[in-house]
Amino acid sequence: MAGSTALHICDSQQGERCVVLLHGYLESMLVWEEFVPLLYKEVRVVTLDLPGHGISVVTGETHTMEFLADAVAEALRALGIARCTLVGHSMGGYVALAFCERHPEMLDGVVLLSSTPNADTEEKAANRRREIALVQAGKKDLLARVAPEAGFAPENRRRMREAIDDLTEQVFVTEDDGIVALLNGMIVRKDRNDLLRASSVPQLFILGRKDGYIPVETAEAMVAAHPQARVVWLAESGHMGFLEEPETTAAAILDFVAETQPK
């Protein structure tokens, strides 16, 4: 339990430094299954199903990023983890940013993995509302047919077919109410660019050059706006760099953990 919220958690338990991996929208902790072994010999690794996805509970019509961040903090306290490096993929990055605002004393560092501190544009919010309407109309299968494949760079999709199939299955097993709650939470999330610039928490951006969700122009503007952040570009990746270029992504995270070792 994380406070009053039931969470599904996996903890490698070994290691002086801790890395917590937060999955994205329409994913679960299962998305990290092949990535965790690249980390756990060096650091303690925690993964979990964010409330509304996987087998963690749905608690209302809107799961704000703040609610999710607090649930993660409660889970870490329950595990006896005082500090960690938080790695957030896509929506998980939005949760990591809310965590950075609300629980900075628990962070050795924050990693935005194919994620941004920007709020939704009106266009993006409208797209999310259309997704809500699809799910509420019983047409989740339309999301499952499109979203998983779109996360990968076009030239990677054939070799990543098994991963795409796994992600498609994760969409089908995700509760409709959970999808809606997280979409609503992303729509209302706030811009956290100023937070990042003012924060003393070390920051790393890992970005895919071929990301269809975060166009390279948007990513480059984000990098330019945050000179305080370390940056790693994945030259051959779309939105799923930890699956498309796992070794490079893992090395970037481990290097960051080593560089931010408390003195």
**3-state DSSP assignment of residue 109:** strand
**3-state DSSP assignment of residue 240:** coil
- pLDDT 10s digits, 118-135: 999 999 999 999 999 999
Q: How many angstroms separate the most distant Cα atoms in the chain?
A: 54
**Whole-angstrom distance between the N-terminal and C-terminal Cα of the chain?**
33
How confident is the model at residue 5, as a pLDDT? 65
Structure confidence at residue 45 as a pLDDT band (50, 70, 90): very high
Positive or negative, the CA dihedral 68, 79, 116, 37 is negative
**3-state DSSP assignment of residue 207:** strand
Residue 197 burial by Cβ neighbours in a 10 Å radius (0-12, 13-18, 19+):
middle
Residues pairing with 47 in the sheet? 10, 21
- pLDDT 10s digits, 127-185: 999 999 999 999 999 999 999 999 999 999 999 999 999 999 999 989 999 999 999 99
Residues pairing with 234 in the sheet? 208
User: What is the fold, at CATH topology level, of the domain defined by 9-259?
Assistant: Rossmann fold (3.40.50)
How confident is the model at residue 2, as a pLDDT? 47
Could you tell me where the beta strands, DSSP code E, fall in the chain?
9-11, 18-22, 44-48, 84-89, 107-113, 203-208, 230-234
Asked whether 91 and 167 are in contact (CB, 8 A), the reply is no
Q: What is the mean pLDDT of the chain?
A: 95
Structure confidence at residue 6 as a pLDDT band (50, 70, 90): confident
Positive or negative, the CA dihedral 47, 51, 53, 56 is positive
